[in-house]
Amino acid sequence: MSEPGEGDEGRKILGLSAGCDPTALQLNPAEGFLLSRIDGQTPWRLLREIGGLMPEEVDLCLETWLARGIVDVAGLEEKKEPPPSQAPPLETRSERSRDGGAPPAPHEPPEAIDESQIDRDLDLSAEVQRSILEFEARLHRPYHELLGVERNADVKQIKRAYFNLCKDYHPDRYFRRKIGDHAGRLDRIFKKILEAYELLSDPTTRAEVERSLDAVPPPPGGGPQRPLSKLERLRQRMPFKIPEAVMNERRAKAADFFDAARFAMENQNYVEAASSVRLAIAFDPFNDEYKKAFAEVQGKATEMRAGRLLEEAEGMDSSRMKEAYRLYEETLLYRPHDPAVNDKAAELALEMGELDKAFEYAERATLHSPQVGRYHRTLARVYRSKSDAGHAVRELQNAIELDPGDEEAKKMLDLLRPRRGARGGN
């Protein structure tokens, strides 16, 4: 199996599937961030760098999403650099990018927001504040994108989208609440949503809006690819050069964020640190120090997240098994190789009747820690459920050999043996 980061895989450009509604997915913020990087332009290998997760985790997520049809391959990167076999390792490739070899990573992620604008003292949850800030940052986008509808959406879909946005962004929703600067933002957002709705729901004005969008002809080859904006086409044709002055300004900003990140790290606030480093990288995407720090802090942050998830899951009784199972599965996204988590997930999968999953997890646990008897016992239970008594007995024997005090394994073995014994007696 070829590694996605290398070869053709790495040059794959992913795009969100047409019918996919990302809000329907169950993603954690880190995955959400990665998903938001997928823009139909950035190749896989660059996603590994800017995706905000460890490269392997990026691969895992992308593979999962590909398999589930959330993203699909939008096309292969244009051949503008030497064949992949000659591609230098990651770090140097970034250097090449700076020289203008490949389209650079997006310098200003559209949803990048200034987290400092989130004020915990307000009568608004941080999530709502974030969504307001993110929406405001997108206000310059085309109208149908603002409403979150397809270009060919009918009037009914447009209306529904508008109504739904009204529920979140109409100023009356936050009547008399202490919302600080967000009042002005809501006002701007709502007016823009209203404008979008008014223009798109009237056939005449809608035609005009669409004409202005179509002013740029679609790229050759057409197909389901979304039309590129003028700027995007320019970027494709020539290396994108940012004026030095702007670049310096950005680097300064990045340094500020990085300072904040270091401070957060010292205080062991890894989630915050990760978010700050992420912003630093957004402003200065080719700084190796940041990337190294990011890998480290992200690892710590995911570790903590996984730890918290585990705590949550462990506190649950059987009535909330389904939820616990989901939490363990989620934990596995962060710690795919943790045998204890795999073992627990296997047990729960077994309870839920998901035999294939149970087998996968139980086997993974024993592969990573073959010396722990308990894991073999779990694997035995899975085999038993699959009516594979032979393998079950073998795993139980392994378990007892590794842990001679394992009474449960012995009991199970006794229950399995008579049959075997009866057969032997014949």
Partner 1 sequence: MSRVIGIDLGTTNSCVTVLDNGQPTVIPNTGGYKTTPSMFAISQDGKRLVGHLAKRQAITNSKNTVFAAKRLIGRRFDSPEVQKSIDLCPYEIVRGPNDDPRIKIGGKTFTCPEISGIILREMKRVAEEYLGEPVQEAVITVPAYFNDTQRQCTKDAGKIAGLEVLRIINEPTAAAMAYGMQRNQDEKIAVYDLGGGTFDISILELSEGVIEVLATAGHTFLGGEDFDRRIVGHLVEWFEQAEGIDLRTDTMALQRLKDAAEKAKCDLSIRESSEINLPFIASDAQGPRHLNYELTRDTLEGLVSDIVDGTLKTVEACVRDAGVQAQEIDQVVLVGGQTRMPLVQKAATDFFGKRPHKGVNPDEVVALGAAIQGGALVGKDQNVLLLDVTPLSLGIATYGGHFARLIERNTTVPVSKGHNFTTTRDNQSAVKIRVLQGESENASDNDLLGEFVLSGIRPAPKGEPEVEVSFDIDANGIVSVSARDQATGKEQSITVNATGTLSDEEISQIIEDNELYEVQLKG
Q: Which long-range contacts (CB under 8 A, 24 or more apart) does 91-95 make?
A: 91/288, 93/45, 94/49, 94/286, 94/288, 95/286
Output 185 or 381, the one with its CB closest to partner 1.
185
Token pair for 70: 């959330």
Min dist. Cβ of residue 24 to partner 1 (A): 17
| Closer residue to partner 1 in complex, CB, 173/300 | 173
Q: Which is nearer to partner 1, 193 or 393 (CB)?
A: 193
Residue 97 CB neighbour total at 10 angstroms: 19
Query: Hey, what are 79's tokens?
Result: 């051949």
The minimum distance between CB 32 and partner 1, in angstroms, equals: 25
- What minimum distance in Å lies between the beta carbon of 182 and partner 1? 13
Site for partner 1 in 209-268 (CB under 8 A): none
How far apart are CB 175 and partner 1 at their closest, in Å? Answer: 4
Contact pattern from residue 119 through residue 158 relative to partner 1, giving x for each residue in contact according to CB under 8 A and a dash for the rest: ----------------------------------------
User: Cα–Cα distance between 148 and 153 in angstroms, integer?
Assistant: 10
64 is an interface residue for partner 1 by CB under 8 A: no
Residue 185 to residue 167: CA distance in whole angstroms: 15
- Taking the complex as a whole, the smallest distance from the CB of residue 289 to partner 1 amounts, in Å, to 44
Q: E strands, 45-166, where?
A: 71-76
* # chain residues binding partner 1, by CB under 8 A: 17
Residues in the chain: 426
CA dist 102 and 45 (Å) reads: 11
Q: Which is nearer to partner 1, 186 or 254 (CB)?
A: 186
CB of 149 to partner 1, least distance (A): 15
Distances, alpha carbon 67 to alpha carbons 17, 73, 85, 320, 331, in Å: 12, 11, 26, 28, 20
Residue 219 to residues 212, 224, 226, 420: CA-CA distances in angstroms? Answer: 16, 11, 9, 68
Q: In the stretch 155-194, what mask flags binding to partner 1 with x, by CB under 8 A?
A: ----xx--xx-xx--xxxx-xxx---------x--xx--x
Provide, rounded to whole angstroms, the least separation between the CB of residue 194 and partner 1.
Answer: 6
Q: Which is nearer to partner 1, 162 or 361 (CB)?
A: 162
Residue 301 three-state SS: helix
Query: Judged by CB, which is closer to partner 1: 159, or 233?
Result: 159
Interface with partner 1 by CB under 8 A: which residues? Answer: 159-160, 163-164, 166-167, 170-173, 175-177, 187, 190-191, 194
